[in-house]
Amino acid sequence: MALNDIFGLDGRVALVTGSTRGIGAAIAGGLSAAGAHVVIHGTRQDRAESEAERLRGQGARADAVASDLSEPGAGARLIAAAEAVAGPVDILVVNASAQKNASLAGLTSEDLDFQLAVNLRSTVEMLQACLPGMARRGWGRVVNIGSINQIAPKPVVTAYAATKAAQHNIIQSQAREYAGTGVVLNTLAPGLIDTDRNADRKNADPAAWAAYCGNANWMGRAGEASEMTGAAIFLASDACSFMTGEVMVLSGGV
């Protein structure tokens, strides 16, 4: 069997949330290179369209949709919008997330509500909207982008870590619910990745950032967003047909 028969995504439609930058953009590019018709998502249509245009310039099939996932009902509306421009969603990459750094003592109700809305409510809404259709068609993939913090939470990201752990719990419950239908759901949990989420910290004190990265994992460095793409392609492909409800950790050896 050819590798493309296992890992190729020709004919598949993939919606990647939060894919105008960082890990989401890298994964969208990887899925596109594997043959998927990619739907780019961001909070701003112009930025989503710019990223889709970049992929189209590389010969890819790409469309763009925008939505604010903190709004009630936004998850379901996003699935509908993606399917309106590209057809039924075969691959859902749940990448967009909200992270407000705070210990439990310093956590405000507003920041908690925001993280719950983006990280949990919208995830539930998207799964409710797309899983039944995937099951009817007999094939589907959900790749949830979690975090090493769901396994080893740091106090400064108390709410974020808790929502990521709960998010994977939802993935596991639906993995069991849909087992045997051709639909599999898994979580990819990155460790420290050099994205714009860490830009302020990196730019404020480059020496401190370098020291932090040096002690973050066995490899002594932050990962690159592009290093998440291979695992994401695997989890989105036929190669993942006998894996569901699992966590794949890419952390440099934490």
Catalytic residue numbers read: 160
Rounded Cα distance between 19 and 141, Å, is 17
The 8-class DSSP code of residue 100 comes to -
For residue 93, the surrounding DSSP H or E stretch is strand 91-94
Residue 32: both structure tokens together: 């596109």
The 62-66 sheet, strands edge to edge: 62-66, 37-42, 13-16, 91-94, 140-145, 183-190, 247-250
From residue 249, alpha-carbon distances to 148, 177, 187, 229 in Å are 7, 23, 8, 13
Report residue 84 as tokens: 């309106």
Task: For tokens 């492909």, name the residue.
Answer: 237
Residue 241 CB neighbour total at 10 angstroms: 12
